[in-house]
Amino acid sequence: MKVLKFGGTSVGSPERIRNVADLILKSGRNIVVLSAMSGTTNTLVEISQYLLKHNVPGAQETLNALRRKYHEVIEQLFTRPDISMRVRETIERSFSFIAQLAQGEFTQAEEKEVLAQGELMSTVLLQAHFEERGVNCVIIPALDYMRTAQGGEPDMRYIASHLRRLIDLHPEAQVLLTQGYICRNAYGEIDNLRRGGSDYSASIIGAVLDLDEIQIWTDIDGMHTGDPRFVEHTRPVARLHFEEAAELAYFGAKILHPSCVLPAKLHNIPVRLLNTMQPDAPGTLIANFPPDGTIKAVAAKDNITAIKIKSGRMLLAYGFLHKVFETFDKYCTPIDMMATSEVGVSVTVDNTDHLTAIIDELKSFGTVTVDTDMVIICIVGDLEWHNTSNFQARAIQALGDIPVRMISYGGSNYNISMLIRAEDKIKALNLLNQNLFQ
């Protein structure tokens, strides 16, 4: 058995929903994880922002536009009036639920409930479409098994036992359908696995059930050498090691949620990235491949801040680095990249919630300089240091005259990271793609 995850664009219109249903039927009896229809989660975020700012008319107008869209989809998707009416009533319950939240004080817990409606609605549409086609498709509600523990990590034991029990209730089902992204937290409240989290849902399911494969179906034929939104002439990468895929996902390759590779890697379950619009394309296979000494792809992580702490006596004054890291630790702020010298250390962060307090404390250890609007460019591949393909020089040369603020290599064999200004990002990504992959 496999788990097949379909992203927002794969279920973005009635035609796509029919298409996805065909693909699912061809694949046999599997678990299907669905995202919200494309644009829905963004719209739900927008509605929540209006409600948090007490702009009820703004929320209502946006909600009504979304409601109209769903009614159009229902009209076009279904031919049987009984099914169409039942689906309309179910979807309408989601909309009235959100509308009713506009009445009182809007809390963050309610925001999570609003964000959950996208996946709850998309699964209702697909399940009813299968019903119209005479296919026995059962919804396994994610809110009944997907759960995070204290600290926010998935509670794998809980998920495994509850999911197994729910699946065993439906031996006759041809398709086992579930919602991606949504879950409950340790207190049983509705929560989510962060934006793009349906990939993570699929990977968790694949891992806890020890399935044969995790398939991520999206709108592109696999992981490309660069981000096609910014880079010309990218091409798909046929094979990636788990570690390479994890680096790319963490450092900005949007095709995969940053946490999605870990459960698959720990359970050694292959992950295949496939294109719903081009189902026969080979896509990308992520597995435990032996080293092949090649550069695979480049990703970019935006909104990075670099902090340099200079101290005249860094290496002699032992304990300096400890104090610096302790400060970030105290404010629960992870560090992405670091570079050291005799006189100081530079680190980067993407979470600036506590930056003012952190800088204030760091000033007692040395002189602090901050650079904002930076981007980490991450070159990923099997880059072991004895490898003679000269990858470091090629990466640096490719950037030409673009100023590089920090360079980091050696934390693993899988990446070289370079910190540059945000304004140079697109040029840098295109130069790297031309020089490393063409």
Residue ranges binding ligand ASP (CB under 6 A):
7-8, 35-36, 41, 118, 180-181, 195-198
Residue 10 or residue 305: which is nearer to ligand ASP going by CB? 10
Residue 35 or residue 94: which is nearer to ligand ADP going by CB? 35
Binding site for ligand ADP (CB under 6 A): 7-10, 35, 196, 218-220, 223-224, 226-229, 253-255, 297
Asked if 130 and 137 count as a contact pair (C-beta separation under 8 A), the reply is: yes
Residue nearest to ligand ADP (CB): 7
Separation of alpha carbons 367 and 61, rounded Å: 50
Residue 143 or residue 321: which is nearer to ligand ASP going by CB? 143
Residue 196 or residue 344: which is nearer to Mg ion going by CB? 196
> What is the smallest separation between the CB atom of 308 and ligand ASP, expressed in angstroms?
34
Q: Which among Mg ion, ligand ADP, ligand ASP, none contacts residue 228 (Cβ within 5 to 8 A by kind)?
A: ligand ADP
Question: In a 3-state reduction of DSSP, which class is residue 218?
Answer: strand
Question: Any idea what the Cα angle at residue 372 is, between residues 432 and 324, rounded to 5°?
Answer: 105
* Piece of the chain touching Mg ion by CB under 5 A; list 7-15, 60-68, 96-104, 273-281: 7-15
> What is the smallest separation between the CB atom of 349 and ligand ADP, expressed in angstroms?
22
Beta bridge partners of residue 417, listed in sequence order: 378, 408
User: CB neighbours of 161 closer than 8 A, spacing ≥ 6?
Assistant: none
> What is the smallest separation between the CB atom of 16 and Mg ion, expressed in angstroms?
15
Separation of alpha carbons 171 and 318, rounded Å: 63
Q: Which among Mg ion, ligand ASP, ligand ADP, none contacts residue 229 (Cβ within 5 to 8 A by kind)?
A: ligand ADP
DSSP 256: S
Asked if 226 and 234 count as a contact pair (C-beta separation under 8 A), the reply is: yes
Tokens 């009235």, residue? 96
Q: Are strands 175-179 and 239-241 parallel, antiparallel or unpaired?
A: unpaired
Residue nearest to Mg ion (CB): 196
Residue 77 or residue 223: which is nearer to ligand ADP going by CB? 223
196 binds Mg ion (CB under 5 A): yes
Residue 181 or residue 250: which is nearer to ligand ASP going by CB? 181
Separation of alpha carbons 214 and 325, rounded Å: 37
CA quadruple 73, 116, 196, 202: dihedral positive or negative? negative
Q: By the criterion CB under 5 A, which residues form the site for Mg ion?
A: 7, 196
